[in-house]
Structure 1
Amino acid sequence: MIIPLSLVGLVAMVCLGLLASPYPYLAPGAVLGLAGALVLYRRPALGLLAIVTLVPLEGLLKDGLVSGAKLVGIGLALILTLQLAVGQLQGARLRSSHWRLLALFLTFYLLSLWTSDNLSLSLNHLRDLIVGLVVFVLTLLIGRDLNLPWLARVITLSVCVMCLFGLFSTKYQEGGRATAMLDANLFAMMITVAMPMGLWLALKSRQLPIKLFWIGCCLLLLAGMTKTDSRSGLVVLLISSGILLYNYREQLSHIRPRHLGFAMLGIAIILPLAAAVVPASYVDRIASLAMLKSGVNAHKDESLGRRATYLVVGKQMISDNPVLGAGPGTFPLHYADTGFSKAFAPVNSVATDLYRRAHNTYLEIFSEIGLPAGLLFVGMIALALRNFWRARAAWAAIGEHDKADMMTHLTISMLAIALFLMFLSSPSLKYLWLMLALSSVVWREAAQARALQGAA
């Protein structure tokens, strides 16, 4: 208890100093900080759950100097560093199958940073990436103590809360699209990550009221998706649903002809309700995907036309610098130098409207950091999917079917992130780096459980 007592003494001195300063109202904050530090010291996993909970809420605090997630992350990082130093945490927890790929990726990243076309933009990109790397390391250290059902609950509930704001408050909408004060596609991506976890909670809940509660959360997520007007979100949801139906095909085989009447009744209720609830603008946006059969026409759909220009610019950047790219974060700079930026600039636009990101994380990495780094980044995502799937097989082999199903849903959430990165520029996404690290943790835990049962 030496460390907690020293923290108490330190905070007491800080409180006395604040009381004697012109800012005495800050003294209670020091007490709250001490309480939070003690909780994180005893239960670091709660800190990681807090970070995950705050991710969808970051738009509410984006104008602040430090967001709640960053504040918790900094405190958690300091506490875990202290615990590693005094031997309370074992360094073996940092083991991960991702380290080799990540080390090579960071090597190419730093070389690209060194040769960047614009060092200022690249340093800003590095600062954002460091946040993701910190989440990766924290998850490796804490992941073994993380309660996965609680992880599913906090992700589902936090995204549902923002869906409520996006549905019923114009403050959290932009041009009629729910944004949660973030990018609409980023919000849609969070919904696709939360949906498989919400479905797992609904399927595994044994008490009917709780089951109905999680079913209601899933319906709220669907309503939030329609309000984002995200075409890519609907595509990802359909793919996720198809995989889930295939995974539970054996349970579906238990459906008897007498159940078809209830199914038809449900369809008769849901279809008219969906037609009444889904905005007409969203239906029109989904219908516009049919134009892809005959090629992209910028006159019919400006958004698809603009995304096609991103591919042209990215291809040219890769041709000019295939190994190290043009430098992290420099895609908007190169795009602004093309005629595309002016052609697709909105009416009465300002100079900053010419600088656009690629809306495709893979394209950005390949063009900004180079082909080797891009392949390594894709390899890390593929390895995470493989780890989750192997963990699923390991739990199923020893009869832990609930845990195996959880691995299935985590795999689908990881796949949703991987697919959505084709429509979204966010290489520092906290969900991404959390899932990369968690895949190694759950695979190691499942492999050890299978080995112990085999030895027994």
Structure 2
Amino acid sequence: MTLLPVSFGLLLGLACLLLLASPWPYLAPFVLAGLVGMAVLYRRPVWGLLGLVVLVPFEGLFRDYELSGAKLVGAGLILVLVLQLLQRRLPETRLGSNLWRALLPFLLCVLLSLAFSENLEVSLDNLRELAIGMTLFGITLLIGRELNLLLLCRLLALSVAATSAIALYSVKYQVGGRAIGLLQDANYFALLIAVAVPPALLLLLRAKGLAERLLWLAVLVVLFAGMTKTDSRSGLLVVLLTCAICAWHHRSRLRLIRPRHLGFVMLGAAIVVPLTVATLPDAYIERIKLLGALSSGVNAHQDASLGRRASYVVVGTRMIGDAPLLGAGPGTFPLHYAKTGYAKAFNEGFSVPDLYRRAHNTYLELFAEVGIPGGLAFVALILMGLRNFQCARRAWLAAGDQSRADLATHLGLCLLSIALFLLFLSIPNHKYLWMFLALSSVLRLQAEGRELPWKAS
């Protein structure tokens, strides 16, 4: 054992003894638990990354506390990786990625916008949130090579499905009849479900036994039921699109269907389709029908949600026109929106007015807050990540490795789901976004033979 881990362990031990002699001796066992946790993370840092993936759907449980499981695991993982970099147990070359070509200009634009921000305090707080999400980008680049991707798919699908099941059967985790899971917004919950569907589909297709197939089929049913309960129209569209892309990727499997199987397929469709329509809430169906009226313009009286989103576009466009190069400053969109008449017209607050609202469109918000160059750099970053997954898929298909090509496709669909949801939510700091961006780079390097071989299962 090297000097740094020994010194760290001695410091923690000393802290434990000091707590035993302090007025708070009950905190001493937590120091020991932290020491054990740090030792585990030091030996298996990839477990910390998997733990963060699992904890994302449960973050709402700790929103009233200063400390949470995700913060503790994240801080411990960062400390462990810094120690390993200093000890050269991890090569610095792992941080290499083609995404830096878009990420560095984006960060430069953010910092320049911060320097000329209209409200420095708000911008610093916004930058802090962005930095927390981006930390996962570096973590995944460093240890993503050791990540068991099938285990990642299992944990992601099961954790989101668990919160979906909780939301379906507990009114406590619903607002206005809409499921929010353990989060604060139904659309954010719909995002998690949309991200979890492609891994669940992959696991269903790869299942070998009947029990395993039934398990992942049940997970998919729970996820689709949870999506229906969120009443999220954007979420439904994203899930349908990803399912269509999955069907196209696996189109060769359709050749296995023989004429004698068509009767069972038609019978299943005759049962599932009417049952799905019958179980959809009437309010959800009406919300979906209103999307068909968009061709004739947005009517705020018919659908306040669409009217509110149209007002975000108006305010954001105005901000871009006023400061096209550097924007108004990170996090300043709500300040501009609160000054408009739209804020009062679409106010949803009752006892406390809800005037400071985000753009609910990450791309629009970034163009308005950090300027056109910064917005274009962020869009380029997303496109490059999707391109990485596409290149990895093609490389493995060319090598005849269908298993890894399937993994690249379904993980790429996770990033695609997030990229589409960025049109409906302001989530530039989402942990899954930065993790899948880093994974896209890791998989492309591996697929093109520039990394050591890895195991898919």
Name the TM tier (shorter chain).
over 0.9
Partner in structure 2 of residue 105 of structure 1: 106
1:293 equivalenced with 2:298 (yes/no) = no
- Per the alignment, residue 440 of structure 1 pairs with 441
Match of 1:317 in 2: 319
TM-score by length of 1: 0.96
Counterpart of 1:279 (choices 278, 281, 304) is 281
* Paired residue type of 1:371: I
Q: Does 1:207 align with 2:174?
A: no
Q: Check whether the contact 1:394–1:450 (CA below 8 A) recurs between aligned residues.
A: no
**3-state SS in 1 of match to 2:268:** helix
What is the aligned partner in structure 2 of residue 247 from structure 1?
Answer: 249
**Separation in structure 2 between the aligned mates of residue 16 and residue 375 of structure 1, nearest angstrom:** 53
1:296-326: per-residue Cα shift (whole Å, max 9, x none)? 1001111001100110111100000000011
Distance in 2, matches of 1:63 and 1:402, equals 43
Q: Please give the alpha-carbon distance, in whole angstroms, between the structure 1 residues aligned to 2:349 and 2:116.
A: 36
Query: Residues of 1 paired with 2:121 and 2:5: CA distance?
Result: 41
Distance 2:162 2:187 in 1: 17
Structure 2 gap segments, 5+ residues each: none
Preserved contact between residue 125 and residue 328 of structure 1 (Cα < 8 Å): yes
Are 1:230 and 2:232 matched, yes or no?
yes
1:141 corresponding residue in structure 2: 142
Counterpart of 1:253 in 2: which secondary structure? Answer: helix
Cα distance, 1:41 vs. partner? 0.3
Does the aligned pair in 1 maintain the 2:334–2:356 contact within 8 Å?
yes
| 1:111 partner letter | L
Look up the match of 2:263. Answer: 261
Larger deviation: 27-36 or 306-315? 27-36
Summarize the alignment of residues 62-101 of structure 1 with structure 2, pairs less than 5 Å apart.
62-101=63-102
Q: TM-score scaled by structure 2? A: 0.96
- C-alpha distance in structure 2 between counterparts of 1:253 and 1:292, whole Å: 39
Structure 1 residue matching 2:448: 3-state secondary structure: helix
Separation of aligned partners in 1, 2:6 and 2:328: 51
Task: Give, in whole Å, the separation in 2 of the partners of 1:4 and 1:280.
Answer: 60
Map of 2:164 onto structure 1: 163
Distance 1:7 1:409, change over 3 A: same
1:185 and 2:187 aligned:
yes
Distance 2:424 2:143 in 1: 31
Contact conserved, 1:135 with 1:434, CA < 8 A, in 2? yes
Q: 1:44 to 1:347 in 2, by over 3 A?
A: closer
C-alpha displacement of 1:163: 0.1
1:39 equivalent to 2:40? Answer yes
1:449 offset after TM fit, Å?
6.7
CA distance in 2, matches of 1:348, 1:247: 48
Letter in 2 for 1:39: V
Aligned length: 451
Deviations 1:216-242 (A, max 9, x none): 101110000001000000110111111
> For 1:105-151, what per-residue CA distance to the aligned partner results, in whole angstroms no more than 9, with x for missing partners?
11110110111111111111001001112111101001111110011
TM superposition shift of 1:253: 2.6
Q: 1:451 to 1:149 in 2, by over 3 A?
A: closer
Distance 2:23 2:283 in 1: 55
Q: Does 1:342 align with 2:338?
A: no
| Matched-pair contact (CA < 8 Å) for 2:334–2:358 | yes
Query: Could you tell me how far apart the structure 1 residues matched to 2:219 and 2:452 are?
Result: 37
Residue 277 of structure 1: CA displacement? Answer: 2.8
Question: 1:325 & 1:4 partners in 2: Cα distance?
Answer: 45
Q: Given residue 399 of structure 1, which amino acid in structure 2 is its aligned partner?
A: G
Partner SS state of residue 449, structure 2:
helix
Identity rate of aligned residues, in percent?
55
Q: Secondary structure at the match of 1:143?
A: helix
In the TM superposition, what is the alpha-carbon distance from 1:49 to its structure 2 partner? 0.3
- The code of the aligned residue for 2:44 comes to R
Question: In the alignment, what sits opposite 2:404?
Answer: 403
Give the letter for the 1:236 counterpart. Answer: V
Q: Which among 216, 220, 223 is matched to residue 221 of structure 1? A: 223
- The one-letter code of the counterpart of 1:194 is A
In structure 1, what is the Cα distance between the partners aligned to 2:109 and 2:450? Answer: 37
CA distance in 1, matches of 2:187, 2:66: 24
Letter in 1 for 2:340: T
Q: Which amino acid aligns with 2:212?
A: I
- Please tell me whether the aligned partners of residues 445 and 451 of structure 2 are also in contact (alpha carbons under 8 angstroms): no
